[in-house]
Structure 1
């Protein structure tokens, strides 16, 4: 699944490629991608709209249009490609935005899990999925004291808690594993048992890992490409995720893979031990 760094990289690419373009036609080949309004009305409302700006909130892309906000979530394998309108339509293309300049923005999704929603202008921030998100993982919005307080309220394991997007948004499987490795915290450590120093280390690890991943253009594990058709580069910097049986870069112990909350999880069994404490 594209995580925050990948979605931010897609946003930057689309900002270069489609801002200023006017929509002449919308072709919907798989209507279930459109959450609301119904597909025919969705296409009708977009006619003549100009893409004025590209924004992102968590893992949601927000196309700022003349009269609407178009919210797009890529889910597992959604991606956008720019093509000329006369180019053949690739397999797994589900929505085509045709512009007046003869180019297309095409949405492709092998698993068809992605979703699009059209809301009134500047109302994207009030979409239910966005309202539920925690702060962006940057120091100006993500505050250590609030993070500490939030963790104390939860007995559940730290990894699934970080994945639920409420304490901080943008973390998926890859970057939770990387942040926990960096902070030397076991993925099954109960959140409310973390000591203040551990919370601080985790806080800075989250900010660091995501910032470095954004700088690298995200992580390409299987199919992810940005809007310019480029792979991310952060996979060469991974310390835990996908490193099963490889030596930990700190201590040399083989990285182990287990399931935590039904998610494949990578950690160092020596550096990241579960610590038995009172909550």
Structure 2
């Protein structure tokens, strides 16, 4: 499943085309994706202008004039592509081929832009993605968002917040970081990377990073910085691009070439001076990659 940096990359790729455009037609080629489309979904969008594109956790948010917001989730294999521009739409070298099977083109936004007509196509071979419609003023209370923690970007996440969530917790650190109520949008890949950067074991109990008075220990301060840094690095690089995930312009990101621990089982640890080897364990049904020598 695409993680937060991939969704951010898609948002940034779509924004130049969609923001300010008018939706001439919203074409649905099937009645549902993972869930049925909202009633009168197409009718609610047609003829209205796209105000802005945003993101919350792993959800893409498309603000429409009048106060409605399209909530889009890419699921396992969903992707957007832009059609109709005179320039090539698939720049860059491909590490994995993108889906070109038009049988999986399920939603087409026909747009009127300042540069002419464009089409933004949602393709999803496995149909685990979905789209919903909500009012902007109701978004914070929406079932998808009301329990989410702060974003792991910029300075919106701090060690004091995590300390309050981790205090007295007997949960393994990996599981606590994947809990979206603690931090929104963190996924398996970047949790592994952040724990490696901060030299913390994924099996360590979350509560051990908090003092008896509820304050963050130095290890938790370092972990918070590592989370922000690894997410920022991945966004800058364009995301991880695992399996068939692609960017909005059809090109692929290359953060996967910078993985220090994820999917590097049996390879030497990259921590300077460490003699360990990357191992893999299973936690909560997911693979965790770590170095047992330098992550404590």
Corresponding position: 1:15 with 2:15: yes
> Post-superposition shift, 1:110?
1.9
> How far, CA to CA, are the matches of 1:258 and 1:70 in structure 2?
38
Q: SS of 2:80's equivalent?
A: strand
Contact 2:153–2:231 at 8 Å: present in 1 too? Answer: no
Q: SS of 2:223's equivalent?
A: helix
> Post-superposition shift, 1:36?
6.7
State how 1:1-279 maps to structure 2 within 5 Å.
1-33=1-33, 35=35, 38-39=38-39, 41-67=40-66, 68-84=68-84, 90-100=102-112, 101-194=116-209, 196-250=217-271, 251-273=274-296
> How far, CA to CA, are the matches of 1:90 and 1:186 in structure 2?
44
Regions of 4+ moved over 4 Å: 34-37
Q: SS of 1:31's equivalent?
A: coil
Task: Please give the TM-score of this superposition, normalised by the length of structure 2.
Answer: 0.85
Contact 1:179–1:209 at 8 Å: present in 2 too? Answer: yes
> Post-superposition shift, 1:34?
7.3
> Post-superposition shift, 1:268?
0.7
Unpaired segments ≥5 residues, structure 2: 86-99, 211-216
Task: Please give the TM-score of this superposition, normalised by the length of structure 1.
Answer: 0.90
Match of 1:276 in 2: none
> Post-superposition shift, 1:244?
1.1
Residues 228-237 or 138-147, more deviating: 138-147
Match of 2:95 in 1: none
> How many pairs align?
270
Q: SS of 1:213's equivalent?
A: helix
Deviations 1:158-199 (A, max 9, x none): 112211211111210110000011111111211112251221
> Post-superposition shift, 1:153?
4.1
Q: SS of 2:144's equivalent?
A: helix
Contact 1:52–1:64 at 8 Å: present in 2 too? Answer: yes
> How far, CA to CA, are the matches of 2:125 and 2:73 in structure 1?
14
> How far, CA to CA, are the matches of 1:123 and 1:31 in structure 2?
25
For residues 133 and 193 of structure 1, do their structure 2 counterparts lie closer, same or farther at Cα, with a shift above 3 Å needed? same
Contact 1:224–1:232 at 8 Å: present in 2 too? Answer: no
Task: Note the aligned Cα RMSD (angstroms).
Answer: 2.0
